[in-house]
Amino acid sequence: MKRNTHTIDASGKVLGRLASEIAVLLRGKHKPDFVPNKDMGDFVVVKNIENLKITGKKMEEKKYFRHSGFLGGVKFIPLKKLFKEKPAEVLKKAV
């Protein structure tokens, strides 16, 4: 099985649509001999993530959260702050 490398330019693309496109490539569903129980996916390299388009009011209203496991250990981080600091992490969470 040969794995190809796909390079995608994220400039001007919408976050959710790009994430679903990447998920198909990573899973290998674009190949005619796709089998769900085997890892047939390709490698994906995404460039210009900082020029990604986020539609609607998501930039102001969407929040990501994580929990430490302790009582009251919920941490929220808004999309606006996370996108400014680590744009690759936003795309990674969307995929």
Q: The tokens 């993530």 sit on which residue?
A: 49
| Assigned token pair, 49 | 């993530």
C-alpha 41/C-alpha 87 separation (Å) is 23
| Assigned token pair, 60 | 């102001």
Q: At what angle do helices 15-27 and 87-94 cross, to 10 degrees?
A: 60
Total count of domains within the chain: 1
pTM of the predicted protein model: 0.88
pLDDT for position 76: 95
Which helix (H) or strand (E) segment is 45 a member of? strand 43-47
Collapse the DSSP code of 5 into the 3-class scheme (helix H, G, I; strand E, B; otherwise coil) and give the result. Answer: strand
Q: What is the mean pLDDT of residues 32-43?
A: 93
pLDDT for position 1: 76
User: Can you give the CATH number for the domain in which 17 is found?
Assistant: 3.90.1180.10
pLDDT for position 13: 96
Are the CB atoms for 91 and 10 separated by under 8 Å?
A: yes
The boundaries of the domain holding residue 24 are: 5-94
Q: What is the mean pLDDT of residues 21-42?
A: 94
Q: What is the mean pLDDT of residues 68-94?
A: 96
Q: Has residue 66 got a pLDDT over 90?
A: yes
